[in-house]
Chains A and B, each alone.
Chain A
Amino acid sequence: MDLLLVILVDGLIYGAWLFIISVGLTLVFGVLGILNLAHGSLYAIGAYATATAVGIYFAYGGDAFPLGSYIVMAFSALLVAVVIAPILERGLLRHFYHRDEVIGVLVTYGVFLILEDAIKLIWGVDPLFVYEPYDLLGMVEAGPLFYVAYDFLVIAVSAVTGFAVWYFLNRTRRGKVMLAVIHDREMSQTMGVNVDKVFLLAFGTGVFLAAFGGALTAPMISVSPGIGVNVIIVAFAVIIIGGLGSIEGAALGAVMVGISRAASVHLMPELELFIIYFVMAVVLFFRPEGIFVRTQTRKI
């Protein structure tokens, strides 16, 4: 029974984290039609920016108000989005909206290569550590087990993020416009939607969510080159399971992958990486375009 509980809690923590790093990816694909291979690099940049900013915060008297480091983390992610999103979207991606989706993958692969080295140029190759925010909240007792409270913060933040994205898309005017673009880009364009603005906003949100995922993760890991390379792969698996472009799908996919992986870690650790793709393969076998499908019709 305990094992089941452990798997469930671990799975939820991991799933919550997965959702944060995946939801931006699926949003960007849904609106722009571009599967952003550089998403993981943006995550890494968020982590690095946070490590630097939080480091500075504590070096200059942040100890007086340590919880302020959480605000610094969020702002670091925001800064990354504000700086990078317009450059990438306006300067590069918009040239490829009318091209094949595979071209988008190739272009963002090029961006990935550039950003991976840019990270090394800016931050060097030595790992950075910012453990303070991770330890701030202490431990939590869950039945027979102890967890770092920060892990539960990740769940809470993930839930809030999910709700915020849902609220934005379904309850605000800008969000509804964006949702309309996700459902039918051409139709929205002919209806007079200013697609340029929607694209920039969506991509900016995507970059922010990626960087925010990195910011949230930075205190839990040693921030070093290559952390984004793995992230992108699991995030892909999650959003393909859920159906590309579907926010609900990303949530469901994240929980499924999270719990499966936790089960594997505790029961069959050698299958840890395998299990993610196994879940994906099973889902795709029954639902070839993911669980929440965007159906496409072709007129002839």
Chain B
Amino acid sequence: MKALSDIRITTALALVVLVGGGQLLPDWALFLMTIALAKGLVSLGIVMQMRAGLVSFGQGLFFCIGAYVSGLMANFTGVTDIFLLTALAVLACLAVGGAFGPLLANYRGIFFAMLSLSLSMILYGVLSKMNSLGGTDGLNVAAPTFAGYAPEGRDLSMTLYLYTVVIVVFIGAMLRTGFDSQHGLVSLAIRSNELRVEYLGASVRRTNAINYVISAVLGGIGGVITGLAIGHVDPEYAYWTTSGEFVFVAILAGYLSIPAVFVASIILELVRSFSNLYFPNTWQMVLGVFLLVIILALPNGLGSLFQRRREGGS
């Protein structure tokens, strides 16, 4: 019961802080927060798989699919309703994730990492060559509407931000439940000792496939929001360095705490925008050093500062 109310309190608190805080943010920060939260969803998908010991270096695949759903629908059908676009992105990622999940679930370690990377690079290659879809230039994305409401200017940024906050908090709460569930504990067990899990009678492959599909959906939602917020999509969304940044955030956050994922994502976006302003040619270097320091000094990520692994007693 205590844990349940913990989730409720954290959820309510997160909503209040994010919604209330958003009102105070200047435009640039509002945009940055929207992007950071949306991309945080993609990294959350990686974290979900990391809990079972897998690191996907190809989450850009779903990020890109989600983003292109927004671009294609706007350009070819005129649909701009964000609810519909999100639903379509989810469906598209369910389909693709559902097709590849069971296949990739046979692979582990670097094979899984590199195969997932390859899939996203295939999409990158295809999109780059498809001139009907904008080729390497990509597509512009029309501003979203919200069930008929078509705000502009700051209202638009604010509405998109609030939409993102609600989705992020809802998904965060759901995944917390998932992490603490039987499925979540079995995932952690797989991370430690896959053979034991099979010998207890559970399917490692099934668990990995489920995690893959869920993370695909998260990637798609992150992509559709990012595409709408930036107003432009291009094949770079599927490029391996984009996926690398999602992995960076996941490693920075660790797999213990869900809020840590979004904090890490916000840190990355802050570093990116400030570096772009002040030292445009060394911001990757900052990230690289940061990544090495985290791996060496905080192997369980920022999350281990927020949340200690609970002891088994009571």
Contact B282 A109 (CB under 8 A): no
Contact B118 A117 (CB under 8 A): no
B285 touches which of A106, A114, A277, A281 (Cβ 8 Å): A114
Contact A117 B281 (CB under 8 A): yes
Contact A116 B129 (CB under 8 A): no
A35 at the interface (CB under 8 A from B): yes
Which DSSP category, helix, strand, loop or mixed, fits chain B's interface?
A: helix
**Most chain B CB inside 10 Å of its own CB: which residue of A111, A116, A233, A288:** A233
Tell me how far the C-beta of B280 lies from the nearest C-beta in chain A, rounded to whole angstroms: 9
Contact B118 A121 (CB under 8 A): no
The size bracket of the interface on B is 35 or more
The size bracket of the interface on A is 35 or more
B82 at the interface (CB under 8 A from A): no
Tell me how far the C-beta of A53 lies from the nearest C-beta in chain B, rounded to whole angstroms: 23
A200 at the interface (CB under 8 A from B): no
Evaluate whether A236 and B114 lie within 8 angstroms (CB atoms) in the complex, with A117-B284, A277-B122 already known: yes
Contact B57 A105 (CB under 8 A): yes
Evaluate whether A113 and B287 lie within 8 angstroms (CB atoms) in the complex, with A121-B282, A277-B122, A300-B195 already known: yes
**Most chain A CB inside 10 Å of its own CB: which residue of B110, B128, B244, B287:** B110
Evaluate whether A113 and B110 lie within 8 angstroms (CB atoms) in the complex, with A106-B55, A106-B247, A274-B122 already known: no
Segment at the interface with B among A75-83, A95-103, A138-146, A165-173? A95-103
Tell me how far the C-beta of B167 lies from the nearest C-beta in chain A, rounded to whole angstroms: 28
Contact B122 A273 (CB under 8 A): yes
Evaluate whether A109 and B291 lie within 8 angstroms (CB atoms) in the complex, with A102-B55, A120-B281 already known: yes
Contact B289 A272 (CB under 8 A): no
Tell me how far the C-beta of B132 lies from the nearest C-beta in chain A, rounded to whole angstroms: 11
Contact A105 B292 (CB under 8 A): no
A118 at the interface (CB under 8 A from B): yes
In the complex, 16 of the A-B residue pairs with CB atoms within 8 angstroms, ordered by the A residue number, are A101-B109, A101-B110, A102-B109, A105-B110, A106-B55, A106-B295, A107-B291, A109-B291, A233-B117, A272-B129, A273-B122, A274-B122, A277-B121, A277-B122, A288-B106, A288-B107
